[in-house]
Structure 1
Amino acid sequence: MASALYALAALVGGAAYLYRVRRSELLPLLARNLLWLILGGFLGANLGGAAMLVSRLTGAALPFALKDTSILGALLGGTATALWLCRRYAVSFWSAADQGIPALPLALSIGRLGCFARGCCYGAPTASWLGLYLPDRAGNWLPRYPTQLLSAAANLLIFLALLAVERYGRPREGELTRLFFALFLLKRFGIEFLRGDALPAVLGPLNTTHLTCLAGLALVGAVSLTQRNP
């Protein structure tokens, strides 16, 4: 079931992306390079696992804990690939990103249902009304925060928010993409506090995922200021 949902997420996300750019003059370029974007996201998602493998092989300790796969890494890899492609073909990154970005939270929403079916990305035990009787990866069933379902719902809301802003807000070039990153990073920052597989804290209650989200939000804010005041 999990594999089917992950595949569905990729198919729906890809179809939504191509549907949105169907009337764009960039359609041939965007369609031709969609696989490069997927590959960049895949490589970025596995950066943590690659770093841990190198650490084990060389015996060199990592300065902080990492996860073997990461959505944040996938966004980093996909964004880096998009920047490279836009530079290569002399295309505005913001214009190209704005056209396809709403498809991303839609795909991520479905992908989190795959995480729920797989049992990964599980929540911490809780006695609150939010708790559902769910397992962790070891098969230990307890009332837990349904973090996969919360993430799926939040990603769907981000998707709807982007469509609403695009239709009624008249965003300037790049604002839709920056709004996605801001909303996603805020969502990921908050959900991390509820995760049962969260990394160890490195700065007060914050772990490397929290710090990565804060760094990303600072970058989004800085870029937004420079774009408003060129």
Structure 2
Amino acid sequence: MYNELIKFGPITIYGYGLMIGIGILAAYIVTDYRAKKINVDREPIFNIAIWGVIGGILGAKLLYYVTIINQIISAPKLLLNISDGFVVYGGIIGGILSAFIYCKKSKMNFLKYFDLIIPSVALAQGFGRIGCFLAGCCYGEETTSKINVIFKHSNFAPNNVRLVPTQLISSGLDFLNFAVLIFIAKYKKADGIVVGCYLVFYSAGRFILEFYRGDLVRGSVGSLSTSQFISIFMFIIGLGIVYSRSYKKIDEVEN
């Protein structure tokens, strides 16, 4: 589509960056609102968000470097290209680790706050994927289906070719994940349940959607893409969290 949305002289507002910004702002507003509604201390939310965003950016960039390590060995100058190339899973892992470190340093209940924040992460991802659509990155494979998108001015996706609209599908799944997690949060029996459900839902959707991606510069592990390989472990971890936290709550009730 059109990534360059508005120009003010030398200043250009890009759709990708704008959507990322909107996603982060929306995530923070929703998290703060929900914290107030359920009487959770709102003061640490901003700091957790900052740590999560910084850790997410670093993690997304680092995992991208891992996927192109052979190219970096041949051309180390690729390390200087910090504006392009991010892997969502790296962002998720980096954001979680950073938030965990902050909560531990501040002696806070990590699972309690993470359950509060994680639906908003899915919300931010939904906006982020719209940014991917505007930029043309993370595009789908060629298709003859009536459900398709044709890029005309993309610097990433092949132009004038019918492609699976993977960015929009992913965005829709992220928004759906957000809505479902909000519902689950209202009826959860123990801290950590929402986090586990997020990992299960996101990894399952991502694993399937990867089969329809057309951008090849994403790395692979055997016959699976890097993201599919990580999805397997994330799915198992998510199930483990849901089971262990549910079982722990049942055990506490019985005793």
Normalised to the residue count of structure 1, the TM-score between the two structures is 0.85
Residues 167-195 of structure 1: CA distance to partner in whole angstroms, max 9, x if unpaired? Answer: 3x344211011111111111111111111
| More displaced 10-residue stretch of structure 1: 123-132 or 154-163 | 123-132
1:76 aligned onto 2:90:
no
Maintained 8 Å contact 2:141/2:214 = yes
AA matched with 2:209: I
Counting matched residue pairs gives 223
1:144 aligned onto 2:158:
no
Q: Which of 164, 175, 188 does residue 193 from structure 2 map onto?
A: 175
1:223 aligned onto 2:238:
no
How many Å separate the matches in 1 of 2:188 and 2:66? 42
Maintained 8 Å contact 1:98/1:174 = yes
- 1:89 deviation in Å? 1.6
Partner of 2:145: 128
Maintained 8 Å contact 2:195/2:238 = no
- 1:203 deviation in Å? 2.8
1:45 aligned onto 2:64:
no
- 1:83 deviation in Å? 1.3
1:85 aligned onto 2:133:
no
- 1:94 deviation in Å? 1.0
1:13 aligned onto 2:27:
yes
How many Å separate the matches in 2 of 1:13 and 1:123? 27
Partner of 1:99: 116
Maintained 8 Å contact 2:221/2:229 = no
Partner of 1:209: 227
Partner of 1:35: 50
Residues 33-92 of structure 1: CA distance to partner in whole angstroms, max 9, x if unpaired? Answer: 3211111111111113444787666559xxxxxx94111100000110111112112222
How many Å separate the matches in 1 of 2:147 and 2:125? 22
The sequence identity of aligned pairs, in percent, is: 25
Larger Rg computed on CA atoms: 2
Partner of 1:193: 211
**Secondary structure of the structure 2 residue equivalent to 1:21:** helix
| More displaced 10-residue stretch of structure 1: 100-109 or 144-153 | 100-109
Maintained 8 Å contact 1:21/1:100 = no
Partner of 2:177: 158
1:26 aligned onto 2:41:
yes
How many Å separate the matches in 2 of 1:41 and 1:31? 15
Residues 99-137 of structure 1: CA distance to partner in whole angstroms, max 9, x if unpaired? Answer: 122111111111111111111111100112322223661
How many Å separate the matches in 2 of 1:196 and 1:56? 20
| More displaced 10-residue stretch of structure 1: 156-165 or 215-224 | 215-224
- 1:200 deviation in Å? 5.6
* Structure 2 segments unaligned to the other structure (5+ residues): 6-14, 76-83, 249-255
* Structure 1 segments unaligned to the other structure (5+ residues): 61-66
